[in-house]
Amino acid sequence: MSTVTSREKNMLLVAVVAVLYAAAALSYKKQVANWKAAERIYQSAQKKVQEERALIAARDEWSARYEQMRDLMPVFPYDQDVDTHWLNIMDAAASRNGLMIARRQASKEVEVGDVYELPIECKDWEGTLEALVKFLYDLHQEGAMLDVRQLFIRPANRPGYLKGTFTLYCAYMRGDEARPPAGRSEAAAAATAAAALPAEAAVGLSVSEGAEDVAQPAEPVPEPMAQAPQPEAGGGRPAGAAAVDAPVPAEGNVP
């Protein structure tokens, strides 16, 4: 029967210790990775909590902004399709500014709280940079909630032209009482009224001040200089006397 020497026992002990250290190292490495992942999750959650606290602190300001924007949003009935309405607005703005839209398609309506959004995907457009800028500005001037969030531009085959794609998001609300969107017609009417206001004010000012102008002219009318009467033979004022010293007769000059 063979016996185990002390040297073999020591080597076996060293091997067991090495295996234990390797297992501990692997376990430690795994735990470090878990700790780092947990730390990232904690930091992300802490950042989110801080942002939510900031939003809660600014609740009154955001409520005021929401009420202001809510009054500007159009309201459509629940059973009305709105894709044709927004497509007509987009096509009209493109035609006015010389932007050619070849393919466009309305996507599914998305409900976000009290607000509804209708994405319109324009898959192919072409035009100059000036036409594109005017088109985007024209959409903003429509008064409706129109927002271009995704816009891709690349050179077209024709010199000086651009082409690409964009996605237009139309925001509106649903309700029992429909409210038309604040469009270009209202803006044009407001501009006309503002332009007509100075003219009416000027007319009213001239009418109200007419009587004062007649009673008190701004500049006095100078009286015509009268000629001195001719001296009589044998007496009177000499011919060389100044004409300004002569009295002014009531009815014309005396011959």
pLDDT value, residue 48 = 93
Name the DSSP class of 177.
Answer: S
Residue extents of the structural domains in the chain: 11-57, 74-185
Distance CA 136, CA 132 (A): 6
170-171-177 Cα angle (round to 5): 120
DSSP helix/strand/coil, 218: coil
Q: What does each of the 255 residues of the chain score in pLDDT, given as a tens digit?
A: 467 788 888 888 888 888 888 888 888 888 888 888 898 999 999 999 999 999 899 988 888 887 877 777 888 888 888 888 899 999 999 999 999 998 898 889 988 888 888 999 999 999 999 999 999 998 888 765 788 888 999 999 989 999 999 999 988 888 877 666 554 444 433 433 343 344 333 333 333 344 334 344 444 444 545 444 454 444 444 444 444 444 444 444 444
pLDDT value, residue 53 = 92
Q: In this structure, what is the dihedral angle of CA atoms 74, 78, 84, 90, given to the nearest 10 degrees?
A: 30
pLDDT value, residue 18 = 85
- What are the structure tokens assigned to 217, written together? 């002219």
- In 3D, which of 164, 93, 100 has the Cα closest to residue 135? 93
Burial 209-230 (b: 16+ CB within 10 A, else e): eeeeeeeeeeeeeeeeeeebbe
Class of domain 74-185: alpha beta
Residues of the chain by 3-state class (helix, strand, coil), percent to 5: 50, 20, 30
Name the DSSP class of 179.
Answer: B
pLDDT value, residue 144 = 57
Amino acid at 16: V
Distance CA 15, CA 156 (A): 72
